[in-house]
Amino acid sequence: MARVRIQTEDFDVGAELVSLRAGDLRVGAVCSFVGTVRDTRAITGVAGDEIRSMELEHYPGMTEKAIEAMIDEAHQRFDFYEARIIHRIGLLQPADQIVFVAVTSAHRGESFKACEFLMDYLKTQAPFWKKEQTPQGAQWVDARVSDDAALARWGIDANNA
């Protein structure tokens, strides 16, 4: 199974976790993260904050290359076995799954760290762009300075937001 998948289809988290460690008796820990489409109105209660849908665009070719390089970098830093990253593109609705990162290792510490590192890296270095449909019309999502700060904790200058 490929380490990186960019797809319009949804994914089954349970099935992915089962297949990631299938037959690998070295594994004692599996850590995963799932990012989903958030409707900000459900948090703030403000009608204007509604996210009606989200469109995800990417840079075919570069995206896969960039994420493969991130996993290679993670292997240099952490002692884990396998990693898998799935990122959806196209039109998504509130509550839909967007991204999946999972890592296997012998003990939990390394997979927790590698999973967080991969997500922090992906947020600022993988060429995806989100466009939200809101009551005010379509809006491109702004990059967050806090995401650059998250990557800086690992000693990497994101140079994104």
Partner 1 sequence: MKIQLRYFASIREDLGLAAEELDCDASNAAGLLAELRARGGAYAQALAEGRPVRVAINQVMARADTPLSEGAEVGLFPPVTGG
Q: Is 98 in the site for partner 1 (CB under 8 A)?
A: yes
Q: For residues 69 and 149, give the distance between their C-alpha atoms in angstroms, rounded to a whole number.
A: 20
Interface segment toward partner 1; rule CB under 8 A; list 8-16, 21-29, 58-66, 103-111? 58-66
Binder among 82, 83, 84, 87 for partner 1 (CB under 8 A): 87
Interface segment toward partner 1; rule CB under 8 A; list 16-24, 43-51, 109-117, 137-145? 137-145
Q: Which is nearer to partner 1, 56 or 81 (CB)?
A: 56
State the nearest-atom distance from the C-beta of 23 to partner 1, in Å: 30
Q: How far is CA 139 from CA 7, 53, 95, 125, 135, in A?
A: 23, 11, 19, 21, 10
Hey, CA dihedral for 148, 91, 87, 35, is it positive or negative? positive
Q: For residues 61 and 157, give the distance between their C-alpha atoms in angstroms, rounded to a whole number.
A: 23
What pairing do the DSSP bridges indicate for beta strands 53-58 and 137-140?
A: unpaired
Binder among 59, 75, 79, 95 for partner 1 (CB under 8 A): 59
Q: Is 91 in the site for partner 1 (CB under 8 A)?
A: no
